[in-house]
Amino acid sequence: MRIGIDIGSTTIKSVVLGEDGAILSSSYERHYSQIIQKTSDLLTRIREEHPDCETAEIAISGSAGMGMAEGCGIPFVQEVFATRIALTDRMPGVDAAIELGGEDAKILFLTNGLEVRMNGSCAGGTGAFIDQMATLLGCSPGEMNEQAAHAARLYTIASRCGVFAKSDIQPLLNQGAVHSDLSASIFAAVVNQTIAGLAQGRPIKGKVAYLGGPLTFLSELRKSFDHALELTGICPEDSLYYVALGAALSCDASCERNFTDMLQKLSSFSRQGNYHSIAPLFCSREDYQQFASRHSRHAVERADPAFYDGRAFIGVDAGSTTLKIAVIDEKGRLLADVYRSNQGNPVSVARGFLEEFFTKYPRITIAGSTATGYGEDLVKSAFSLDYGVVETVAHLKAAQHFLPDVEFIIDIGGQDIKCFKIKNGAIDSIFLNEACSSGCGSFLQTFANALGYTSEDFAHLGLFADRPVDLGSRCTVFMNSSVKQAQKDGATIENISAGLSISVVKNALYKVIRTASPEELGRRIVVQGGTFLNDAVLRAFEQELGIDVVRPAIAGLMGAYGAALYALERAKEKSSILSLEEFRNFSHTVRDINCGLCQNNCRLTVNTFSGGRKLISGNRCERPITHRIDDGSLNLYDYKLRLLQSYQPHSGPRGRIGIPLGLNFYELLPFWHTFFSSLGFSVVTSPLSNRGIYLRGQNTIPSDTVCFPAKLMHGHIQTLIDQGVKYIFYPCMSYNLDEGISDNHYNCPVVAYYPEVIGANMPELGRITFINDYVGIHNPRYFAKKAFEMLSRYIPNLARSEVERAAKDAYDELAVYHARISARGEEIIERARDEGRQIIVLAGRPYHVDPEINHGIDKLIAGFGAAIVSEDVVSERIKEPVKVHVLNQWTYHARLYAAARYIKDQPDMHLVQLVSFGCGIDAITTDEVRSLLEEEGRLYTQIKIDEITNLGAVKIRLRSLFAAVEQQRRKEGASL
């Protein structure tokens, strides 16, 4: 008898083989980190099933099995090797295998030798990711699979980890998106993560096997892979057990062990308890009592609504995972409140509470109502609330109620961290977690649930831990591994709980706020949000800062309480909120439609409420709501895009040449289009970027860490190949044009040399002539000579005089193009000042004009009534290099510095900087830009953009920026 045991990150699988290689029995169960106990139970069960066998040949495999196997003297087989043995034995001729486990994902390429691609630092696209998403949708993975079969559309959802995906899914849930569509979108995200993140440019083709739990149990996930790979994969019988099967097949006589000996070794296997620990949160019970007593003083006064007869005010905070409602009287006393999960439908939960309140207390008159949070628009429209307020303002109002001279506010919710520096009673700086929720409540909740505890019980366990585990500040994926390792080293649940609470604080301070020292935050600090109701997190925060802070007793209700205070300040005779009768007859339906009013062709979610009220979401502009056509006259991004689209192909005797519309071609297209048109080519550009173009090229992307604009170039090149062009021109360009505002004028390495990456990773380029030579247009004197030498190798019968004439035409056209941009920018600025509008310099790179890259952020800003110009329009007004603390040698960054230098003296101009993930230079650039602006009080915000961008967080930043602008203008108006 041969036994193979696969101990994975979340499950334990076993296979028992007879002498003929047939499977006698198999098992599959979750181990909940109780690896030794589950292994012992498994062996005991196998022994009972085969009482005549005192010994067996046995081997262990799997990501969590090595330490135990070594400690108990049981042979260990590396899981990739085990999988290959099983595939070779049971599926001869297979070319590739995709295996998804609990936290592991692998692609095994078996043709022409073995090559393995594994997830190293991210559990996105694995079983744990799917479990998290199912929990978010309030169903099991099996139910999610059934829902996905009925999907009508796909949303773009990130899958690098559950953090990004939650940020994408939660706003869709709050807007009423259909669960079947979300389920299918999650499976599509898993597929994209596997192909782009693991395959990294190597094609997955031929005979492909699907292995592992998610691919075995979820038929719709397999269909998503089939659709993306354009093949039909094979999910073999016993696909769950291939690692265990391979371990069993690898056994020989040297692997023979006695059952009794193995069980004894397992029972005596000891853990060393040598993990790295840190100081405990509380030294004694008395220490905790003093802490609790101090914080109990920050309570809000309450009044009994049964005995109140007067006006009341309602605040509704529809957060990412929870719904909070506060009802206050005219003195700010709390009459009623609720804090509960929104269950994916904040409208239903809010309606239940409000209808019950109105029924119980008919004598109370509602004189004001305000919505805030992610679901603000949805709740406000559903119940006809009076006001909507950005959550940063709501939280400030609540904090000032408890500490009027507050200097810093930190709010940690389920997935969000919001931090505000307060100056002169107003928000001065905002920090949001746009990319990571490892310092949030859902981070702790995930671990609590995985270990079988409620969040409250798990948090309480850590209060008196004697040796908290030092987990540092890491993302959830890394933390999973750290927690498992700590468990193996003997850490108790109490010490893990305390370590996680401390980690939450470190993540917030050093990853989101990025503070260098506690003194930067000030001494008057208010902490709020549901996560700070956890005493362990609060204690860790105070210990890390070395000061006492204020935690209101209603820390989890602060957004709702602040919204109610906002309504109180704007009291009416009677609120427009629905009446009790209207609540009882309330109805809510959701449907999806395509807008079709512009080239964005947005997929809209239309929420219809009783009384005919509607909320339309999913739109990148206001056109489907207002039905007004924005001519883009105050949006330079819109003008640039239309100007680039005017460069259309003309017939040419030399045939067609393709140019991919991405990266630096968003600035240099006029030059190259004119140059090749003059040489007699019909110049074809790839279409504007869209999700389809990205997916068209994602299987050739060799790196998951390169910036999204570079990833898009693969799709643009593939699209041109599909269009049948004879040539594709995409040159390497070390230098940009010298604008006289920097120490040098380099392109960044990705912009300069990505053609080399394209040439090395796209085999289909062999079908056409790909021109990716090194060239520069920064020196007009030598360009024609170098261009002739380059193109003569590809284009027959090319004359030097042709190239010289084409070069002159190209330089002339580029000058005309820049003059048009400059003139339109000047017109926008003058008109904005005539109309009293604020001017936002939306700064970034030329390719941030691409609608797929900027996600319509320019239109979001235009919706606030501001005028939009780009950084190059104002940077040209600075005629010399700006003094900064770094080597100023990159053309695009030099424009940012020059723009910031100009804006600092313009009271009606503020800067919004677009930053692409994967651009390592941007962290330095951001600090320099911020320092140039803040010394003169100009407002600034940075928005990180990637293939997926959390537009909810973007809107918070923008609304907070404009709220600050309005407050500033009101102060100036009073002084005038």
Pair type for strands 408-412 and 417-423 = antiparallel
Give pTM, 2 decimals.
Answer: 0.74
| pLDDT greater than 90 at residue 855 | no
Tell me what pLDDT residue 923 has.
59
Give the residue from 422, 598, 432 showing the smallest Cα distance to 508. 432
- As a whole number of angstroms, the distance between CA 405 and CA 525 comes to 9
Retrieve residue 586's tokens.
């309330």
Tell me what pLDDT residue 597 has.
61
Q: Which strands sit side by side in the sheet containing 682-685, from one edge to the other?
A: 682-685, 656-659, 727-729, 769-771
The answer for residues whose C-beta is within 8 angstroms of residue 724's C-beta and 6 or more apart is 656
Pair type for strands 334-341 and 322-329 = antiparallel
Where residue 701 falls among pLDDT bands split at 50, 70, 90? confident
DSSP state, 509? I
Least confident of 212-226, 229-243, 878-892, 962-976: 962-976
Q: What homologous superfamily is domain 305-403+563-584 in, according to CATH?
A: ATPase, nucleotide binding domain (3.30.420.40)
| pLDDT greater than 80 at residue 516 | no
pLDDT digits (tens, 9 = 90+) for 533-576: 889 889 988 888 888 999 999 988 999 999 999 999 998 888 99
Q: Which fold has domain 824-975?
A: Rossmann fold (3.40.50)
Least confident of 221-225, 382-386, 409-413: 409-413
Retrieve residue 95's tokens.
């070319």
How many C-beta atoms surround the C-beta of residue 885 within 10 A? 9
Q: Tell me the residue ranges of DSSP E strands in 395-539.
A: 408-412, 417-423, 426-432, 525-528
Tell me what pLDDT residue 225 has.
92
The angle subtended at Cα 196 by Cα 190 and Cα 199, nearest 5°, is 105
- As a whole number of angstroms, the distance between CA 517 and CA 386 comes to 42
**Residue 360 · residue 583 · CB < 8 Å:** no
The answer for residues whose C-beta is within 8 angstroms of residue 631's C-beta and 6 or more apart is none
| pLDDT greater than 70 at residue 150 | yes
Q: 409-549 domain in CATH 3.30.420.40? A: yes
| pLDDT greater than 90 at residue 448 | no
* 414-418, 483-487, 519-523, 714-718 — most confident range: 714-718
DSSP state, 63? T
**Residue 428 · residue 965 · CB < 8 Å:** no
Where residue 191 falls among pLDDT bands split at 50, 70, 90? confident
- As a whole number of angstroms, the distance between CA 670 and CA 306 comes to 72
Percent over 90 (pLDDT), the chain: 32
- As a whole number of angstroms, the distance between CA 946 and CA 641 comes to 20
pLDDT digits (tens, 9 = 90+) for 659-692: 999 999 999 999 999 999 999 999 999 999 988 8
Checking phi first, is residue 814 left (phi over 0); if not, alpha (psi -120 to 50) or beta? alpha
Q: 637-818 domain in CATH 3.40.50? A: yes
- As a whole number of angstroms, the distance between CA 833 and CA 957 comes to 24
Give the 3-state DSSP-derived string for 832-879, with helices as H, strands as E and coil as C: HHHCCCCEEEEECCHHHHCHHHHCCHHHHHHCCCCEEEEHHHHHCCCC
What is the number of residues in the chain? Answer: 976
Tell me what pLDDT residue 976 has.
34
Least confident of 806-820, 851-865, 953-967: 953-967
All CATH 3.30.420.40 domain ranges of the chain, comma separated, are 305-403+563-584, 409-549
Checking phi first, is residue 663 left (phi over 0); if not, alpha (psi -120 to 50) or beta? left
> What does pLDDT average to over the chain?
84
CA-CA distances (angstroms) from residue 121 to 64, 252, 437, 481, 948?
A: 16, 35, 16, 10, 19
User: Is 497 or 625 the better-scoring residue by pLDDT?
Assistant: 497
Provide the greatest CA pair distance for the chain: 98
Question: Which residue carries 């100023």 as its tokens?
Answer: 888
All CATH 3.40.50 domain ranges of the chain, comma separated, are 637-818, 824-975
User: Is 163 or 300 the better-scoring residue by pLDDT?
Assistant: 300
Chain CA centroid to CA 801, Å: 52
Chain CA centroid to CA 957, Å: 16
pLDDT digits (tens, 9 = 90+) for 389-426: 988 889 999 999 999 989 899 888 766 677 888 877 77
How many C-beta atoms surround the C-beta of residue 452 within 10 A? 11
Retrieve residue 620's tokens.
């990148």
Cα-Cα-Cα-Cα dihedral of 68, 73, 75, 77, to 10°? Answer: 30
Where residue 975 falls among pLDDT bands split at 50, 70, 90? very low
| pLDDT greater than 50 at residue 345 | yes
pLDDT digits (tens, 9 = 90+) for 756-787: 999 998 888 988 999 999 999 988 889 999 99
Q: What is the average pLDDT across 49-68? A: 86
- As a whole number of angstroms, the distance between CA 671 and CA 776 comes to 12
Tell me what pLDDT residue 823 has.
94
- As a whole number of angstroms, the distance between CA 338 and CA 553 comes to 14
Retrieve residue 327's tokens.
């009802």
- As a whole number of angstroms, the distance between CA 815 and CA 812 comes to 5
pLDDT digits (tens, 9 = 90+) for 802-845: 999 999 999 999 999 999 999 999 999 999 999 988 899 998 88
Burial class (CB in 10 A: 0-12, 13-18, 19+), 626: exposed
